[in-house]
Amino acid sequence: MIDDLLQLAQAQLGSQLKQEVGFSEEQVEKTAHVAKDAFLTQIASEALSGNLPQLLDIFNGKATSTTANPLVMRLVNQFGGDLMEKMGVSKETAAMVSNMVIPFIMSKIASPETGKAEDEGSMMSQLGLDNLDNIGGLLGGLLGKKGGLGGFFS
């Protein structure tokens, strides 16, 4: 689902990124890849911190998907930092892009079309993030060793 949402964001926000930010087609495409990495990294961090219930509330439409939500703001900050690091954009450009892309993606996650989830596990499955090898690798990167938490997630 994440890949589908990023393709939708690229299709619907691509022209806006080109016009308002001055991105080329190549930069728009790279933005989608950076967004995916940032999203996965931050979700892994949220899982490690025990914050998946907050994501579940967004997914089920019980919490706002805007930057007024602290979890969404953490995603915006992660993505903005990654844009600066991986694409070399200015802080201002990173803020503009991340405040455009992440709320768009989160609004789609919160949309009734994504369905409802009974628990964090079913939500992660619906998001396509139920493969713990992917999350484990990200957590391992966050913790400095493959698999993270002594290999628990590998």
In angstroms, what is the C-alpha Rg of the chain? 15
- Residue ranges of the chain with per-residue pLDDT less than 50: 132, 136, 138-154
Instruction: Using alpha carbons only, give the angle 115, 121, 127 rounded to the nearest 5 degrees.
Output: 50
Integer Cα distance of 58 and 62 in angstroms:
6
| Helices and strands counted in the chain (H then E) | 7, 0
Q: Looking at this protein, which amino acid is placed at residue 14?
A: G
Check residue 151 and give its pLDDT: 39
Residue whose pair of structure tokens reads 């400095």 in the numeric block:
144
pTM: 0.80
If DSSP codes are grouped into helix, strand and coil, which group holds residue 138? Answer: helix
Give the per-residue pLDDT at 131.
66
Between the alpha carbon of residue 120 and those of residues 29, 84, 126, 134, 147, the distances in Å are 30, 31, 10, 16, 20
Q: DSSP characters for 1-69?
A: -HHHHHHHHHHHHHHHIIIII---HHHHHHHHHHHHHHHHHHHHHHHHHT-HHHHHHHHTTSS--STTS
- pLDDT recorded at residue 129: 77
